[in-house]
Chains A and B, each alone.
Chain A
Amino acid sequence: MNQLSQTLGETLGRIGGVNLLPVAVGLIAFVLIGAPSSWVTLTVAGLSMGMMIFLMASGLSLIFGLMDVMNFGHSAFVSFGAFVSASALAYMSGWLGADSIFLNILALFLAFAAALAFGLVAGWFFEVVIIKPVYHDHLRQILITMGALIVSEQIILAVWGGAPVSVPRPAFLEGSWLLGDVTIEIYRAFAFALGLAVYIALYFVLKRTRIGLLIRAGVENREMVEALGFKINRLFVGVFMVGSALAALGGAMWAGYETLITPALGGEMMIVVFIVVIIGGLGSVEGTLLGAIMVGLMANYIGFLAPKLALASNMILMMAILLWRPSGLKPAVK
Chain B
Amino acid sequence: MTQDTTKGALFIKATVLTLGALLLFAPFLFQDTRSLEVAARICIFVVLVASYDLLIGYTGIVSFAHTMFFGFGAYGAAIALKKMGPGWDAVLVGTLAGLAVSIVVAIAVGLLSLRVKAIFFAMITLAAASVALVLASQLSDLTGGEDGITYKAPQIFKTATKLMVDENGKVARLFGVKLNGKLAAYYFVFASCLALFVLCLRMVGSPLGTVLKAIRENEARAEAIGYRVVAYRTFVFVIAAIAASLAGTIYAVWLKYTGPDTALSFTIMIDILLMVVIGGMGTMYGAVIGATLLVIAQYYLRDLMGAASEALHGWPLLPELFAPDRWLLWLGIIFILLVYFFPKGIAGTISAMGARS
Report A's interface with B, CB cutoff 8 A.
Answer: 64, 70, 72, 130, 133-134, 138-140, 142-144, 146-148, 150-151, 154-155, 157-159, 267, 270-271, 274-275, 277-278, 311-312, 314-315, 318-319, 322-323, 326-327
Contacts of A143 in B (CB 8 A): 62, 273, 277, 335, 339
The answer, among A133, A158, A275, A278, for a CB contact under 8 Å with B320, is: A158
How distant is B141 from chain A, measured CB to nearest CB, in Å? Answer: 12
Residue of B nearest to A151 (CB): B332
Q: A158-B321, A159-B317 are in contact. Are A142 and B122 (CB under 8 A)?
A: yes
Judging by beta carbons under 8 Å apart, are A159 and B119 in contact? no
How distant is B144 from chain A, measured CB to nearest CB, in Å? Answer: 17
Q: Report how many A-B pairs have Cβ atoms within 8 Å.
A: 97
Judging by beta carbons under 8 Å apart, are A278 and B120 in contact? yes
Interface centre among A130, A147, A322 (most CB of B within 10 A): A147
Chain B residues 299 to 347 lying within 8 A of chain A, measured CB to CB, are 317, 320-321, 323, 325-326, 328-329, 331-333, 335-336, 339-340, 343
Q: A144-B340, A157-B325, A312-B135 are in contact. Are A151 and B119 (CB under 8 A)?
A: no
> Could you give, for residues 20-34 of chain B, a 1 whenever the CB lies within 8 Å of some chain A CB and a 0 otherwise?
000000000000000
How distant is B260 from chain A, measured CB to nearest CB, in Å? Answer: 13
Contacts of B160 in A (CB 8 A): none
Main secondary structure of the interface of A (DSSP, over half): helix
Q: How far is the CA of A33 from the CA of B270 in the complex (A)?
A: 42
Contacts of B323 in A (CB 8 A): 158
Q: How far is the CA of A327 from the CA of B116 in the complex (A)?
A: 9
How distant is A262 from chain B, measured CB to nearest CB, in Å? Answer: 15
Contacts of A154 in B (CB 8 A): 326, 328-329, 332
The answer, yes or no, to whether B14 is at the interface (CB within 8 Å) is no
The answer, yes or no, to whether B134 is at the interface (CB within 8 Å) is yes
Judging by beta carbons under 8 Å apart, are A151 and B336 in contact? yes
How distant is B163 from chain A, measured CB to nearest CB, in Å? Answer: 43
The answer, among A142, A151, A311, for a CB contact under 8 Å with B135, is: A311
The answer, yes or no, to whether B242 is at the interface (CB within 8 Å) is no
The answer, among A72, A144, A278, for a CB contact under 8 Å with B336, is: A144
Q: How far is the CA of A121 from the CA of B266 in the complex (A)?
A: 28
Judging by beta carbons under 8 Å apart, are A147 and B325 in contact? no
Judging by beta carbons under 8 Å apart, are A318 and B339 in contact? no
How distant is B335 from chain A, measured CB to nearest CB, in Å? Answer: 4
Interface centre among A138, A158, A274, A323 (most CB of B within 10 A): A158
